[in-house]
Each structure stands twice: as C-alpha cells, then as structure tokens.
Structure 1
Amino acid sequence: MRPLAAAFAFWLAVAALPAGAAPSWRVVAVVDGDTLVLEDGRQVRLAGIEAPRPPAGAGPGDGRSWPLAEAAATALADLALGRQVSVRGEAITDRHGRLLAHLQRDDGLWLQGALLTAGLARVHTRPDSRGLAAGMLAAEEAARQAGRGLWRSRAYEVRWASEPEELARHRDSFQIVEGRVLHVQKSGGEAYLDFGEDWRTDVTVHLGRAAMRAAAEAGIDPLSFEGRRVRVRGWIGLRNGPVVEVTHPEQIERLEPPAPPPRTVRRAGPPPGRRDADAEGD
C-alpha cells in the first residue's frame, strides 16, 4: 500500500462516516481485485467497479500471468484483509449470491474510491447499483489523467467511436468509448445515438425503454446528446456496426458544453425499419 498512500489518504479525508454508523465485519479473504470474503462467510462484490482479472477459463496452470489482475488483488488485500468494513449506502444480492455493495473501512476509507484512484479498477455501474457514480467517475478520471495502473496499458485504454472496425475487434468485452454524437433518433420509447453517417457500419449507442424511463427520471433527454462529445461505457455488441446497450444514465458522460449540430442531412426512414435491419445483422 505504500506507493498508493497519497491516493488513499484523499479518500480517508472525503469518505469518512461517524464511528459506529453501521455494523461492521472483518475481512478474512480476498478472491480477486473486486471481491472479498467476510468473517461470516459471505462474499462481497465491490459495487460499481470492474478490476482487471484473467479471462474466463484461465487457470493458474495455463502458463500465462496477469500482472494487473494480481496487482489489483494485492492492493485490495493490502487495503482490506484483516480490517473491519461496513456497507456504505444500499446493498443487494447478485445472481451469484454475493453481496453487491460499497464498502468502507473502519477508519473511513472507501474501498472503491481507493482502487479507482490507484488506477486498479474502472467504473462499471449497473441499473440496480448506481450509487456514488459521480465520485467514482471523478476518481477514475484522475487516475486516467495521471496514467496510473491500468491506464498505462493499451488493453484498457479509451476506445474511439471514430474507429468502428477497431472497436468491433473488442466484441463481447467491457469498454469505454469516446466520440461525438452526430445524430439522435427517438421512436417507440427507444433512442439511438449515432457516431457516424452510416449506422449499418458505424458505432451506435442504444437506449431501450427501461433506459429511456431512467433517463427521464434523471431529467435527461437523449436529444441533448446530439452534437456533443460523450464517453460511454458498456459491453460491445455487433448489430451491423458496433453497439453499446445503455441501461442507465450513468453509462454516458457529457464531456463538453453543447456544440452546434453537425451540418449533415438527417437520414429518412423510421427507426422500426432500423430495428428490423439490426435483427438481420445479429
């Protein structure tokens, strides 16, 4: 923990809660960079973050090493092993039976904030676990600007929406994508954010009905993204071109003030026909 002391001290200062504010448990084991085990046997998955980890199916005897995964697990062990922790905010149980929660150490240190500040995790919120997103995004941005941890690796760099062929190579992986939205189409309670002139090959962000309701509750109109530079995070799919499914507003960051709409001709044709073409491309 010594090389990360300055970053961790920041979160000690800003994330402290009064002593005795919540029940606490001792951490007895660390599974990986974002999962640990409490003294009562429960596993806790740290909510809102994604630490580096070996690909699915990789085992200790396959001859490959995963230094960033090891670094994240080591950092979490340094932070939490043998320490008392308590839940910060709400907690839920995920489909694997783990507790999904933000954890705070007995001295006030917020584990998610510390890992993000050290560059050993990326923000990865979920529709049912969106709390503290603003603080996490700020910590991630500080680590990225400083080039800490995983932000020194090309494997985790921000991808560009202007390079759809490159992004397509990362299908079925969690990525952070940045670019300017050229067009927004809304129809039937859904919305499409287009980053290129041809949605059949270029990058698209799709907001389904549930995401649109969540955006409305947050006071966000997807049309406000047109002409804006944004950063989107999510799993990369392929439906014609690369697509990111947005399920909640925290997946999209506005990066600059509104810009004049691009001087291009809006495509004719209703989005329902587009959905039919999408289905053909699956």
Structure 2
Amino acid sequence: MGWGSGVGNIAGLAGLVALASAALPAIADDKLPAPCVLEPGPVRTVARVLDGETLVLDDGSGVRLIGALAPRARDAGAQAGAWPPETQAMQTLSNLVLGKRIKLAFGGRQKDRYGRFLAQVFLEANGRSEWVQGTMLAAGQARAYGVPESFACVRELLAHEAEARRKRLGLWSNGVYRPMPAEQPGSLLKQRGKFERVIGTVASIGKTKSTTYLNFGTDWKSDFTVRIGKAVLAANPEFARTLDTLKSKTVVVRGWIERRNGPLIDVADVSQIEIIDGKEDVPAPAGVSAVTVPNDAQPASVPVDPDGAQKLRPDPTEGADPGAVNL
C-alpha cells in the first residue's frame, strides 16, 4: 500500500524472533489486539540529531521517537555526555538517519508540550522502508515504553526490545538496566521519576471501585505497588477477568517510579506487565505473539511502507528538562 493512501497497518513489522516464554494468561493468540495502524505524516530530511531519540528536521521542526526511550546519563547518576550507553545511542541514531529523508507516522497525540512531533519514524533506503524505533530497540540502543495516548505499536516495540535483551545487546549488557527487585522499596524510591523495570512476586491483589492494586509486600504504606485504573481494565476485559491469577506469579513491570506512600508504578496499558517463566530476561511482553523471522528478514526492518503512537505520563519530576520524557 502506498504511503499517500491514507492509512495502513504494519502487521508486517515482522522482524520479530520467536519468544519462548509465558504471556499474560488473559491474552490468547486468537485474541491479540489489532495490528498497529499509523497515519502518514510529513516527509522531511534530518538536519540534526540532538540525542538518542530526538531529531531536528530541515524545516526546523523537532521529532521525538515515541516508544523508544534512549539511555541517559541520569539513569546512572553520571555526568551529562559521559555515559557510554547515551553516547552510543546518539551515535547509532546519527549513523542511521542524519542527512537522510524520513517519513513520520502517527497513531495518537501528534505533538508534545514543546511542539515536537511524537512520531513513529521510517527511513527510506535502498528501496525499503526501515522502522527507526525498531532498529534502535533491536540494537539495544533504547527501551520500549508507552504513555497514555501513545501506546500504538507498543507490542511490536516490546518484541524488538526483547530480541536485544535476549542477545544482551547495547544497554542490556549494562547492569544499570537490569530489573530492580520489588523487595527493595528503599532503592526504588531513590529512582523516583525514572523509568525502570521492576521484578517481583505478586503477594496480593487489592481492589477498590476505581482501582486495582498489585501488592508486592505486606505493608502498602512502604512496599512496592502497581496501580491499574478501571479504564485499563474496562479496555481489556479478558485481562480483568483473569487478573486474580497474577497472585504468586513473578512479573516484571515497567514504567516511571512514583511515590504514593511507598514506590509505585501506574499501569496505563497491560503491555507494561510481563510474566516471567523462570528466566528473567526472556519474558514475553503482554499481548505479543511469537513470530518466526524469515531467513532474509532483519529483526528491526519494515519491508513495506505503513500507510500509527496514542494521556501522557504523570507530570514530570522537578527539574525535568525537554530532553527527558516530559510530554
């Protein structure tokens, strides 16, 4: 389907290796969400690369690679510009897109508070359309994430990331990016305002009229908790019906650490929760089916043009700058 034909889907983000692990019990293969659908946007040339996820185009507009969170020095408390994963991600992105024509595509909110596009980005090269977020994730140069209004393509994003984790590529070879243990709430609170993956066993599940809580300890005033709003459950009824089965399961939850009594992650999409089958870094992202890669496919390529990214994360922490995930 041609780029100018309105909309099309990228179910063919097929460069996803088969992942042998357990998915959330709520989602069967025959009930997976619809493929990612994107609206085509402008076609421009990349004039500058500001960091591992931010571009400036030849018309002066800025672009954030929504869904691919680049490593930053603050992840490790390092000095700006002196954190190897950060500089490597920027170099990888520069090598990939600088001076080249790209296509933008949208699936939700199109701009952030700074006026930058929030877009999926595709690079035209050698007669093929390459998904830039997929390439960065598959190379271990970014972490997959979503925020309300920007969860389009999240399952494809997670699957590309999972391949890099499996191979321990890029940032995944660095201990800073391993999951933090849920049983250490004091350490988690020190990461307040940062994006983390937290691993732990669900001790109990609490419910109110508006919210469900996954508790990872016996003291909700100090232990790590995951909050799932009723809107998320309403949008995922199968998941909601089997939510109680998560008790005693080991899971990895991704998101920004907040302080609500103890440390908390707010789940805005079920893709933020992964069940572990005994090998920590080989989990199947919630709702991602296993897909076998054809012999001639590359893990992060998009073979055809797309013809879809979707209330954003909580207010940024004090002192957050435009380079942080501050949408």
Deviation string 1:147-174 (CA, Å, 9 cap, x unpaired) is 1111122222111213223323322211
Contact 1:83 1:105 (C-alpha < 8 Å) held by counterparts:
yes
- 1:44 CA displacement: 0.4
1:28 maps to: 47
| Structure 2 unaligned spans of 5+ | 1-11, 17-39, 279-327
1:45 maps to: 64
What is the one-letter code of the residue matched to 1:72? A
Q: State yes or no: 1:230 paired with 2:251.
A: yes
Q: State yes or no: 1:165 paired with 2:186.
A: yes
1:196 maps to: 217
- SS of 1:109's equivalent? strand
- 1:113 CA displacement: 0.7
2:6 maps to: none
- SS of 1:55's equivalent? helix
What is the one-letter code of the residue matched to 1:101? A
Worse-matched range after superposition: 25-34 or 155-164: 155-164
Deviation string 1:22-79 (CA, Å, 9 cap, x unpaired) is 65211111010001011221100001121012339x99xx786122111111100111
In 1, Cα distance between equivalents of 2:173 and 2:166: 10
Contact 1:164 1:201 (C-alpha < 8 Å) held by counterparts:
yes
Pick the aligned partner of 2:151 from 125, 130, 138.
Answer: 130
Identity %: 36
* Structure 1 pair 216–227 and aligned structure 2 pair: CA distance change class (3 A): farther
| Structure 1 unaligned spans of 5+ | 1-10, 16-20, 258-282
In 1, Cα distance between equivalents of 2:198 and 2:61: 34
Q: Which has the higher contact order (CA 8 A, sep 6+)?
A: 2
- Scaled by the length of structure 2, the TM-score of the pair is 0.66
* Structure 1 pair 154–130 and aligned structure 2 pair: CA distance change class (3 A): same
2:23 maps to: none
1:255 maps to: 276
Note the 1:1-282 alignment, pairs <5 A.
Answer: 14=15, 23-55=42-74, 65-90=82-107, 92-106=110-124, 107-208=128-229, 212-219=230-237, 220-221=239-240, 222-256=243-277
In 2, Cα distance between equivalents of 1:13 and 1:256: 24
Question: How many pairs are equivalent?
Answer: 236
- Scaled by the length of structure 1, the TM-score of the pair is 0.75
Root-mean-square deviation (CA, aligned residues, Å) is: 2.7
Worse-matched range after superposition: 62-71 or 233-242: 62-71
Where is the helix percentage greater, Structure 1 or Structure 2? 1
Contact 1:12 1:108 (C-alpha < 8 Å) held by counterparts:
no
Worse-matched range after superposition: 150-159 or 40-49: 150-159
In 1, Cα distance between equivalents of 2:121 and 2:48: 15
What is the one-letter code of the residue matched to 1:166? S
